[in-house]
Amino acid sequence: MPEQTTRTEQTPVKVVFDLPPDGEDWPPVGREGLWAVPLDHPDHVRLANIPWFVRNAAEGDVFRVERDEDGVLRPVERVEWSGNCTIRLIVRADGPFVGDLGRVLDRFAAFGFEGEGLEQFSMVGFTVPPEANLTEAKRALKAGKADGSWAYEEGCVSREWEAAG
């Protein structure tokens, strides 16, 4: 599918994803609104931020959306994958990073990750571009899990991510 272009005159919109619980009180919210940019195709948007809780979505992915009866934009299907992965960490206050989200962000920036922290849930979310150092990053993720620095979730990954390390 050819890459879709952004409509420059459009302002970002919110797309609301419903989040089914996984049986362990997670995610801690029932829905997540993600910023998206409208594209030339009238019902397509490109996600413009890291999904904190939505699974199988990454920043840059294109979704077909519809408005519900309340006028809320809802995703129908992902129509184009960006190639980015989404990785999320819960940083432990009693671990080696003592809950310092900034230090964790800095640690993974060295591998080409782009991320941000969410203090409310002691979380760090990352967009992992295809050119990131996946093998070394996965080693660091596993080491941090083993030493009690964090727990992590692979929210959306590629075959290359799965094959690395």
Q: What is the pLDDT of residue 1?
A: 46
Q: Which residue has the tokens 């080693």?
A: 139
Q: What is the pLDDT of residue 149?
A: 96
Distance CA 120, CA 149 (A): 17
Q: Spell out the domains of the chain, with CATH numbers in brackets.
A: 13-80 (no CATH), 85-163 (3.30.70.2380)
Helical axes 101-109 vs 134-146, angle rounded to 10°: 150
Distance CA 90, CA 119 (A): 10
98-125 per-position pLDDT tens digit: 999 999 999 999 999 999 999 999 999 9
97, amino acid identity: F
Q: What pTM does this model have?
A: 0.89
Nearest one of 85, 11, 78, 13 to 51, comparing CA atoms: 85
